Chain A
């Protein structure tokens, strides 16, 4: 189980990105974290994965524990070896490496050949397209395929806990549906998932538990289904009960753009 306790993170010693967050990812569950831009979602994942220092961020207070191991200030490679791996926002596949090499890069943290072969089999079963396109450059895949490659690459580490940072970003609604199914399937195979999303419909559809982050604090939390019934989530994240119809909100709202588009 991953347990985050009264976590406070600042950037450059000044900007507070996460202020006293406490949350849990129980074994075998899918936990969704919702929130708008700047809510502290990505900071949370960076803290868990140990890449905060690359962004000049610092844990001021609090703990992040995987079972009994404290993850704060550990090296990212060590955290991966402990079984926690992240699929970063915007996919960030290695576009100049082939699909096969991308998957291989995911498995480099472990020397266990049998485990890697098993992981590769699992990835190919989940995403047959990655097997077909094995020798193609990652950058030539479509957006949806790149997201599958990014998830597959992470699964090559045979993780206990998979962290997903906005897997729906920039994808067509039909593909987002597929990503949701894939997450549910990965979870069924025994991997816990922490899913950070702006797309609340998909996230609450697959999650068991959910947290809503608002400017660095948890504003709501609980069972995902119950949460999706609350007025606040309905209004803010699911687009019901507001004056404007949903379609219009989708097109007029400020959409996040991809920082890296390689296809």
Chain B
């Protein structure tokens, strides 16, 4: 039972990190109608920036710089490429983002090499325990920060002018334009927010129990794609639920792998995709997705 609770808490904390990534993925899709496959390498860019500047700037400075750099990188992709291709088919845009992803990722892998860059989190590898239930401080802080950010995001999405503009232009871009809503602005802001959220996710994703920044972080970030897709690619609520679901399922599968040895070791990292496939078999447009949407 304590093992179950432990896994559940850890799964939820991993899930909130996934949710941050998936939320960015979803708002980019809503605002620009782009499935952004460059999201994983944006996240790695954030992690890399934090790791290489932490010695000079300290942890907080590096974290802030990482968030800014990632947000600006996302903005540059939007302004230079996506905005120029407005109106192009969804598939072409998706392939363009795969190209961008390959460019950023290749360069980052070259820079990181075979090292594992350490990010000096102030809480290092500390652990909190209550009874038999334990979680690394890093993941605990992640859960709190993510909860606050996600809460703020949903408030802004519901009540701010940006939120209304975003939802209006996601529903009917031409009419939103007729009302004077500037889609360029809405879309640019969505990329900035998504980039910043990805960097925050990166900050915690490279802390305990993960050893540090290595190209493998990219693979971990990829698990947020099934989270966004199973939630319904155009649903922010779906991104949250999908993130939590994937986080818990993955952690459980990893934690109980001794009981499920017939599946082999390392089964946990496959689970996100299996969960996604199972959900899509039953609900092809995701848990909360709009029916008419192009399916992935």
Answer yes or no: do A and B interact: yes
Q: Could you tell me which A residues sit within 8 Å of B by CB distance?
A: 49, 51, 54, 75-77, 79-81, 85-86, 88, 92, 94-97, 101-102, 104-106, 108-110, 153-154, 157
Known pairs A97-B164, A97-B167; A109 contacts B174 (CB<8 A): no
Residues of A within 8 A of B180 (CB): 76-77, 79-81, 85, 108-110, 157
A110 to B165, CA, bound (A): 12
B263 at the interface (CB under 8 A from A): no
B60 at the interface (CB under 8 A from A): no
Q: Mark B146-163, 1 if CB is under 8 A from A, else 0.
A: 000000000000000100
B56 at the interface (CB under 8 A from A): no
Name which residue of chain A comes closest to B163, CB basis.
A101
Cβ B177 vs Cβ A101 within 8 A? no
Cβ A101 vs Cβ B164 within 8 A? yes
8 A Cβ contacts from B172-193 to A: 172, 174-182
Residues of A within 8 A of B181 (CB): 77, 105, 108-109
A110 to B180, CA, bound (A): 9
Residues of A within 8 A of B176 (CB): 94, 105
Q: Which of A77, A95, A109 has the most CB of B within 10 A?
A: A77
Give chain B nearest CB distance to A62 CB in angstroms. Answer: 22
A76 to B175, CA, bound (A): 10
Residues of A within 8 A of B174 (CB): 51, 54, 88, 92
Cβ A95 vs Cβ B171 within 8 A? yes
B132 at the interface (CB under 8 A from A): no
B20 at the interface (CB under 8 A from A): no
Give chain A nearest CB distance to B51 CB in angstroms. Answer: 40
B87 at the interface (CB under 8 A from A): yes
Cβ B177 vs Cβ A94 within 8 A? no
Query: B-side binding surface: helix, strand, loop or mixed?
Result: helix
Known pairs A77-B182, A108-B161; A54 contacts B168 (CB<8 A): no
Residue from A54, A75, A95, A106 within 8 A of B179 (CB atoms) = A106
Contact-size category for B: 10 to 19
Known pairs A54-B87, A101-B164; A108 contacts B179 (CB<8 A): yes
Give chain A nearest CB distance to B36 CB in angstroms. Answer: 22
A110 to B168, CA, bound (A): 16
Name which residue of chain B comes closest to A139, CB basis.
B171
Known pairs A101-B164, A108-B165; A88 contacts B175 (CB<8 A): yes
Q: What would 13 more interface pairs be, CB under 8 Å, given A80-B179, A105-B181, A157-B180?
A: A51-B178, A80-B178, A85-B180, A94-B175, A95-B171, A96-B167, A97-B167, A101-B164, A108-B165, A108-B181, A110-B180, A154-B179, A157-B179
Known pairs A92-B172, A94-B171, A96-B171; A104 contacts B179 (CB<8 A): no
Name which residue of chain B comes closest to A111, CB basis.
B161
A51 to B172, CA, bound (A): 13
Cβ B164 vs Cβ A105 within 8 A? yes
Q: Which of A85, A94, A97, A102 has the most CB of B within 10 A?
A: A94
Give chain B nearest CB distance to A151 CB in angstroms. Answer: 12
Give chain B nearest CB distance to A139 CB in angstroms. Answer: 10
Name which residue of chain B comes closest to A79, CB basis.
B180
A80 to B87, CA, bound (A): 21
Q: Mark B16-40, 1 if CB is under 8 A from A, else 0.
A: 0000000000000000000000000
A231 to B176, CA, bound (A): 41
Known pairs A54-B87, A94-B172, A108-B161; A88 contacts B167 (CB<8 A): no
Residues of B within 8 A of A85 (CB): 178-180
Q: Which of A92, A97, A102, A105 has the most CB of B within 10 A?
A: A105
A153 to B181, CA, bound (A): 12
A80 to B175, CA, bound (A): 12
Name which residue of chain A comes closest to B178, CB basis.
A86
A85 to B87, CA, bound (A): 23
A85 to B180, CA, bound (A): 8
Cβ A109 vs Cβ B164 within 8 A? no
A194 to B176, CA, bound (A): 20
Residues of A within 8 A of B168 (CB): 94, 97, 101-102, 105, 108
